[in-house]
Amino acid sequence: MTAISTPVLLALAGLGLGMVMGATARAGRFCTFGAIEDFVLIRKTLRLRAWALAIAVAMICVQIMHHTGIARLDEVFYLQSRIGWASSISGGLLFGLGMSMVGTCGYGVMVRMAGGDLKAFCSFLVLALTGYMTARGITSFIKVYSVDQIAVDAGAAGGQGLPHLFAWATGIDVASLWLPAGLIIGGTIVLWCLKDAAFRNSRRDIVAGSLIGLAVAGGFLATGWLGADPFDPIRVQSLTYVLPLGETLVWLMTFTGASITFAIAVVIGTFAGAFAIAILKDEFYWEGFDDAREMRRHLIGAAAMGAGGVTALGCTVGQGISGVSTLALSPILTLASILLGASFGLHWLLSGSAKEALGILMSRSPN
């Protein structure tokens, strides 16, 4: 029997993990922007806790893998010594603002599109195009020669991981800090999630958050362990939904001369998983824009998400869950910026005034 090649094996793993992501979001109503919206507008934390649980589960699993050495987690780009704080902040703010205009993130766009949402389909095309352009196209020059030039080097600490920085400050051996840090931070987040009675009684949210966290950890396991080909090692990564959307679009257009990758397979699997649940639950129906104004908002928002997500090197999943689970500093900075950008965008849409939205965020009445 012919052995399955590493690229094919990784593509199958990505397809499976993507299906879990898509099915979970559709069946469990898991939505990162929905979590932000609930908290910002009505101070409801149920979906926010599901998102936090996903981060905690991924973090604990990832740090166990890092401790046992079953995945090459020391090779992830999140832990590089260069901290591009300007890219993280500007990209995160832009992505968050775009997310508020579209009403979901790149991950949510795939899930909605699988249910027949033509607004999400248009957003997918624009997000994929602008993201790819910002990474490898004509607009990449703006990013490369502006915010990408501003960074802090954490080489003296050995990297930008929180254990790196703590070990550098205290003199403690960094190798002994990863697992305790993951367990303490992850465990604290789990306790915060379970502190709420409504969340403890919401089996759907607990299961959804847990499955998403396990899928993200599975991404690192697949690329770090299955992708450890001595002749052609695969870059260690996990799930993200900005640049891979553009890569998927290119792959669909150049199928006969292109090869499927782990990231592309995740995108396809996400759509397939969400589509299957939409059909099973009889939730598939065509939905379009109400008017030109709504269409304009979605297209501008999708463009902002594509450019912002690539600038920040990830989205609410790519940085907010995958990146944070590695205990790197940049993803935490990016996640905070996304939350701020989305909160500002929500208040702006509701009030119709950027000045008033800024005043609300700064906890004072606008002049």
Return averaged pLDDT per consecutive 10 residues of the chain, 367 residues in all: 77 96 94 91 93 97 94 90 95 96 94 96 97 93 93 92 93 93 97 96 96 97 87 86 96 89 96 97 94 95 97 94 96 96 93 87 61
Tell me if 226 sits within 8 A of 10, measured CB to CB: yes
pLDDT per residue over 305-360, tens digit each? 999 999 999 999 999 999 999 999 999 999 999 999 999 999 999 888 888 888 88
Q: For residue 268, is it within any domain? A: yes
Number of domains in the chain: 1
pLDDT in the model for residue 351? 87
Angle at 365 between CA 359 and CA 367, to 5 degrees: 85
Q: Which residues contact 269 (CB under 8 A, 6 or more apart)?
A: 14, 15, 16, 17, 18, 19, 20, 21, 22
Q: For residue 366, is it within any domain? A: no
For 114, the token pair is: 């699988």
pLDDT in the model for residue 2? 52
Place of tokens 């995108």: 267
Q: For residue 326, is it within any domain? A: yes
Q: Which helix (H) or strand (E) element contains residue 30?
A: none
Q: For residue 45, is it within any domain? A: yes
Q: For residue 1, is it within any domain? A: no
For 110, the token pair is: 């795939």
Q: Give me the domain span that covers residue 164.
A: 6-361
In SS3 terms, 40-105 reads as HHHCCCHHHHHHHHHHHHHHHHHHHHHHHCCCCHHHCHHHCCEECHHHHHHHHHHHHHHHHHHCCC
pLDDT in the model for residue 294? 94
| Among 316, 351, 352, 338, CA closest to 241 | 316
Q: For residue 66, is it within any domain? A: yes
pLDDT in the model for residue 1? 39
Q: For residue 145, is it within any domain? A: yes
Q: How many CB atoms lie within 10 A of CB 53?
A: 25
- Please tell me the pTM assigned to this model: 0.94
For 56, the token pair is: 């905690």
Q: Which residues contact 283 (CB under 8 A, 6 or more apart)?
A: 26, 115, 277
Q: For residue 118, is it within any domain? A: yes
The residue type found at 212 is I
Q: How many CB atoms lie within 10 A of CB 359?
A: 16
pLDDT in the model for residue 364? 53
> Computed from CA positions of residues 283, 285, 291, 292, in that sequence, does the dihedral angle turn out positive or negative?
positive
Q: How many CB atoms lie within 10 A of CB 191?
A: 10
